[in-house]
Amino acid sequence: MDIRNIAIIAHVDHGKTTLVDALLEQGGAYTEHEEVQELAMDSDDQERERGITIYAKNTAIHYKDCKINIVDTPGHADFGSEVERILRMVDCVLLLVDAQEGPMPQTKFVLKKSLELGLKPIVVINKIDKPAQRAMNVIDMVFDLFATLGASNEQLDFPHVFAIAREGIAQETLEEKGKDLTPLFDLIMKHVPIAKSDTEAPLRMQPSSLAYDDYVGRMGIGRIYEGTMKVGQQVSVLKPDGSERNGKITKIFIAEGLNKKEVSEASAGEIVTVAGIDDIYVGETVAAKQVTEPLPAISIDPPTISMSFLVNNSPFAGKEGSQLTTRQIRARLEREKETNVGLHVEAIEGTDSFRVSGRGELHLSVLIESMRREGFELQVSRPEVIFQEIDGVVCEPVEHVIIDVPEEFSGTIINLLSQRKGEMQDMKTEDDQCRIEFLVPTRGLLGFRGDFIIETKGEGILNHSFLKFEKEKGEIPGRSRGSMISMTPGETMAFSLWNLQDRGTLFVGAQTPVYEGMIIGESNKSEDMMVNPTKNKKLTNVRASGSDEAMTLVPVQEMSLEQALEYISDDELVEVTPKSIRLRKKLLTEVERKRANPK
């Protein structure tokens, strides 16, 4: 049976996982008694809640005596390292582009990687049922993007199809009415090359990602490039530096629809999940004993953001979680490294903390949220950008930013990003909607989203992805307002909060337990403000018509994990527990803070 391997790549929310749903349904992945699932590939709880794909996953369908292995990839820039590695496993990519939005930052990033590997993409213009769709313009924009990224003549001559993934429809022209995805399946059969199946050569297979199973341990997911792999086979594991070690294949799984099927052997061209090599890692070559030449190494882009994970030592430590100690946090982070290749973890000597580095705030906040749900209590510091020295020059990560806002807010946004060392690249206005492109240092985007939502009154759309390292841009202004800090432990009272709400934005409501040094709100002034939120009204027998005002509390701004990480400054921490997210000062008492920063 012929095998064709494809990956689906696109910007976040352009419809990748929805298209995979339709391909699975029409490719016979479901038997008669099975219920057709929505967003079937987004199996993780956080993926379903956030509405994004976080982990790349592969599936397989059958069409006209051909097996099509499909890899669904993340669309968010923070998980871009997953996409880079996955592209090495496949022979073609389906590039999905929204018929209204057109190419976005992550479209550019994943397409660039595809073109560099010599892949010839099939372009799918999705969501053509949108009232504001401009599919033909978007095709021209995609062509311009191909040309800008240095595509060859063969790559520029890309096939394209129009689709409504939600309805499972594809059509060759905008005018015709599609019935199913047959035009897309036919394009795949015509333009995706059959996977090379050299079964005579000795075995060579390379893991592109990792998985973990409680029963069989660490597993490598990758493509067999040459030869045949069998259960029980003795193999050599070749590292890119030339060193090697021995291993044994104990289990082989291949994808069949949404399930993993255990097989006794698999041949070249197939994408497999392999168990038996406990210390297998991305980019290594699993080969037959006589092979000495490893496959080309897979490069993984370095992290751009880091933060400190600390043991929770607040007065409320141990009240909500069950995993509290340094040993438990270290074991969990080590386990995460087993499969999360873009993550770097190092212990900070002499402390109970760890330096954890990743590709972006979302990358790290997904890990923190997972730990929180598993019963962990920990504290995390403000995200910091990782600088690199390139040719003797200190460089920092710069991101490509695309902003869509109503025209009336464009001046404010340009001003905000200019203050954060952003450089405007392009600006277009159409139907009172402005699209502005910027290059902005990652440092300048930390904490920007909150200001952006306020300034655009929730009508702006912000997209950004890592582009390159550039010379350090100099000092960037941070948060302009101070914090309201509780000066006493206890429970917040409505009377106190009512008096405080005119002096800033509150993060906590009435009857909330607080401790000394806990941040309960943002002050209207630039310096921190010590407040007593536990003071209640003194009750007397005397009543007067003017003194007993009705206390109406403004709804509090409850902080999500991402908002909390964006808000805190260098001398503050986020306390994360299974039930609560609290903000606090690193030094809880005012005496300690004054001693540490004498003025």
- We report the CATH number of the domain holding residue 462 as 3.30.70.240
One domain, residues 6 and 91: yes
Please list the ranges in the chain whose pLDDT falls under 50.
33
One domain, residues 21 and 165: yes
One domain, residues 264 and 307: no
Which amino acid belongs to residue 52?
I
Other beta carbons within 10 Å of 555: 7
Instruction: Kindly compute the dihedral angle of the four CA atoms of residues 411, 413, 417, 418, in this order, to the nearest 10 degrees.
Output: 10
pLDDT in tens, 257-311: 777 888 888 888 888 889 888 888 888 888 888 877 888 877 777 788 899 999 9
Contact 121, 160 (CB under 8 A): no
* CATH code, domain with 220: 2.40.30.10
Q: Give the global pTM.
A: 0.80
Q: What is the DSSP letter of 37?
A: P
Task: Give a yes or no: residue 315 inside a domain.
Answer: yes
Which uninterrupted H or E stretch holds 98?
strand 92-98
Q: Characterize 328-354 residue by residue with b for buried, 16 or more Cβ atoms within 10 angstroms of its Cβ, and e for exposed.
A: bbeebbeebebbbbbbebeeeeeebbb
Which pLDDT belongs to residue 55?
Answer: 66
Task: Give a yes or no: residue 539 inside a domain.
Answer: yes
One domain, residues 447 and 494: no
* CATH code, domain with 22: 3.40.50.300
Task: Give a yes or no: residue 197 inside a domain.
Answer: no
Which pLDDT belongs to residue 538?
Answer: 77
Provide the angle, in degrees to the nearest 10, between the axes of the packed helices 410-419 and 448-455.
160
Q: Which of 471, 503, 518 is the last residue of a domain?
A: 471
Which among 554, 565, 438, 542 is positioned nearest to 503, based on CA atoms?
A: 554
CA distance 17 to 285: 30
Task: Give a yes or no: residue 565 inside a domain.
Answer: yes
Q: Characterize 112-135 residue by residue with b for buried, 16 or more Cβ atoms within 10 angstroms of its Cβ, and e for exposed.
A: bbbbeeebbbbbbbbbbeeeebbb
One domain, residues 143 and 35: yes
Task: Give a yes or no: residue 476 inside a domain.
Answer: no
Which pLDDT belongs to residue 428?
Answer: 86
Task: Give a yes or no: residue 293 inside a domain.
Answer: no
Q: Which of 191, 221, 237 is the last residue of a domain?
A: 191
**DSSP secondary structure string, 172-185?**
SSSSS---SSHHHH
One domain, residues 35 and 110: yes
Q: Which two tokens stand for residue 249?
A: 């294949």
First to last CA, the chain: 76
Q: What's the Rg (C-alpha) of the chain?
A: 27
Q: Which two tokens stand for residue 557?
A: 């701004």
One domain, residues 532 and 595: no
| Residue that the structure tokens 């995979």 belong to | 20
pLDDT in tens, 96-117: 888 888 888 777 777 888 888 8
One domain, residues 182 and 266: no
CA distance 598 to 595: 6
One domain, residues 382 and 280: no
Which pLDDT belongs to residue 573?
Answer: 92
Which pLDDT belongs to residue 54?
Answer: 66
One domain, residues 12 and 159: yes
Domain, as residue range, for 396: 390-471
One domain, residues 114 and 47: yes
Which pLDDT belongs to residue 519?
Answer: 92
Task: Give a yes or no: residue 456 inside a domain.
Answer: yes
* CATH code, domain with 521: 2.40.50.250
One domain, residues 419 and 275: no
Task: Give a yes or no: residue 296 inside a domain.
Answer: no
Q: Which of 471, 494, 514 is the last residue of a domain?
A: 471
Which pLDDT belongs to residue 545?
Answer: 59
Q: Starting at the edge strand that comes first in sequence, how are the strands of the sheet with 234-238 ordered?
A: 244-248, 234-238, 285-287, 204-213, 217-226, 271-275, 251-256, 259-263
Overall number of domains in the chain: 5
